[in-house]
């Protein structure tokens, strides 16, 4: 584990392997450890870098409210401090929002972009539902969201057969810094509007992936992103909910690897 510092903030990151730089960005309430199965496989071919977003894990927990630009600045600083001329970026859920915003602002820094289980263009009903969850978190604390999240994120069969993996995710959610989580979750509930407006500025080769049964980051949302990004491919993984990189690592790893190889000069 290593740290970089900038302004008053610190980013905890980890890297393994050599080759093309490949950066993974986790989702809200999680941390770099969610990518372990990607690190194990893809570090054989790439310089794999994972890190904790602001308000999460071992990185700084600045006071809220948070803005999407703070997370883009954090990623930009990491890329610059590690002296990476061009990177391949994979963003999951809230991390996908950060990745898309970064790609819109710094296209010259990106070789490929993978947008995984991303929210896009929420309907009024979807917006009301996430806003209600935010209010519930603010009133009752982050603990109230954990079990409902587990049920949304994982198939029942996977939960039954992989209790240790699910419990690791549950433990991460249980041990989050409450203020940082609430600030990040509040941003997650609204940032899709900002990202939606930025899609027109994304020109890099993009792979869009989600699960067939992801109720928060639906196949319809990924289809809309795909239609907005001219230089993109779409993959909907059957019989999978939100935690696609954890439930179906072989499919995810192969898709990322194949997509990068197609676009590496």
Nearest Cα neighbor of 234 from 202, 251, 210, 200 is 210
Whether 188 shows a pLDDT value over 90: the answer reads yes
Q: What's the pLDDT tens digit per position in 249-261?
A: 999 999 999 999 9
Whether 265 shows a pLDDT value over 80: the answer reads no
Q: How many CA atoms lie within 13 Å of 50's alpha carbon, on the beta-carbon side?
A: 23
- Burial tier of 93 (Cβ tally within 10 Å: 0-12, 13-18, 19+): buried
pLDDT bin (cut points 50, 70, 90) of residue 142 is confident
Q: Which domain holds residue 241?
A: 2-263
Which residues contact residue 21 at a Cβ distance below 8 angstroms, ignoring those fewer than 6 apart?
46, 47, 49, 82, 84, 86, 87, 88
Q: What's the pLDDT tens digit per position in 26-66?
A: 999 999 999 999 999 999 999 999 999 999 999 999 999 99
Identify the bridge partners of residue 190 per DSSP, sorted by sequence position. none
Instruction: Identify the pLDDT of residue 141.
Output: 86
Helical pair 178-188 and 124-140, crossing angle rounded to 10 deg: 170
What's the number of domains the chain is made of? 1
Whether 157 shows a pLDDT value over 90: the answer reads yes
Whether the full predicted model's pTM is greater than 0.95, yes or no, is yes
Instruction: Identify the pLDDT of residue 7.
Output: 86
Overall average pLDDT of the 197-207 stretch = 97
Overall average pLDDT of the 92-109 stretch = 97
Q: Which of 26, 32, 56, 242 is catalytic?
A: 242
117 is catalytic: yes
Instruction: Identify the pLDDT of residue 62.
Output: 95
Q: What's the pLDDT tens digit per position in 204-234?
A: 999 999 999 999 999 999 999 999 999 999 9
CATH number at residue 94: 3.40.50.1820
Q: Which of 59, 88, 93, 222 is catalytic?
A: 93
Percent of the chain with pLDDT over 70: 100
Q: Which of 59, 88, 117, 176 is catalytic?
A: 117
93 is catalytic: yes
């Amino acid at each position: 584990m290593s740290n970089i510092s900038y302004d008053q903030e610190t980013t905890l990151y980890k890297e393994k392997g050599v080759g093309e730089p490949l950066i993974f960005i986790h989702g809200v309430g999680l941390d770099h450890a969610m990518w372990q199965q990607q690190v194990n496989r893809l570090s054989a071919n790439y310089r794999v870098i994972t890190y904790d977003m602001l308000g999460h894990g071992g990185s700084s927990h600045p006071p809220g409210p948070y803005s999407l630009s703070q997370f883009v600045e954090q990623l930009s600083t990491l890329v610059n401090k590690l002296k990476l001329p061009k990177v391949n970026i994979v963003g999951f859920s809230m991390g996908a929002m950060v990745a898309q915003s970064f790609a819109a602002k710094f296209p010259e820094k990106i070789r490929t972009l993978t947008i995984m289980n991303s929210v896009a263009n929420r309907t009024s009903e979807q917006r009301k539902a996430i806003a209600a969850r935010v209010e519930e978190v603010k009133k009752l604390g982050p603990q109230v969201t954990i079990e409902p999240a587990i049920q949304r994120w994982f198939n029942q069969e996977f939960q039954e057969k992989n209790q240790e993996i699910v419990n690791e995710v549950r433990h991460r959610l249980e041990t989050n810094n409450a203020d940082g989580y609430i600030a990040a979750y509040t941003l997650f509930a609204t940032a899709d509007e900002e990202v939606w407006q930025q899609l027109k500025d994304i020109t890099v080769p993009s792979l869009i992936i989600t699960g067939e049964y992801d109720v928060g980051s639906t196949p319809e949302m990924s289809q809309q992103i795909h239609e907005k990004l001219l230089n993109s491919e779409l993959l909907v993984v059957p019989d999978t909910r939100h935690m696609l990189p954890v439930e179906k690592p072989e499919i995810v790893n192969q898709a990322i690897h194949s997509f990068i190889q197609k676009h590496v000069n």
